[in-house]
Structure 1
Amino acid sequence: MMNQSVAVDQDRRGIAPGFRDHWETLTAEQKMSLYQLQTWGYRLLFVRNMPSGPLAIIAQDQEIATIDTEGTLNTHPDIHLRPH
């Protein structure tokens, strides 16, 4: 299991963490919510480490959503992603 500090160190070195790295940082509640949402076409983009815990950034087509540490879905988050 990868700890969060390792994921941050890898990101700083320019090595993008993979799906498994992000998955390992999620809480059990987030994993259960994402598992259910995948049937509706949601996919995990990445996880941000926030003071309140990991925040899963997910997408369905071009629509961005988040899942908080308690597994609650927010389909209208106030976040803006950089174009890649």
Structure 2
Amino acid sequence: MSAPRITLYGRTGCHLCEEARTVIVAVCAELGESFTEVDIDTDPALQQRFSDEVPVTFVDGRQHDFWRVDPQRLRSALRA
């Protein structure tokens, strides 16, 4: 399997992060993709960069969304 194309930056206990994860899991299952997840609270630089924007999603190394993940928009980005 190839490297994950999606990275989800979030934090433990974040309800928006849980909602984003649910959308990402569903879209990945549908399209045969995978994702990786990073807890920003384990890295001070990430915590400073994304503190008020989590969850933040990256697709193919570029920032895609923050706060909410729209499944159709994510599908489109993965198909591009």
- Please report the TM-score for the alignment, with normalisation by the length of structure 1: 0.37
Tell me which structure has the larger Cα radius of gyration. Answer: 1
User: RCO (CA 8 Å, sep 6+): is it higher in 1 or 2?
Assistant: 2
Higher strand share: 1
- Please report the TM-score for the alignment, with normalisation by the length of structure 2: 0.38
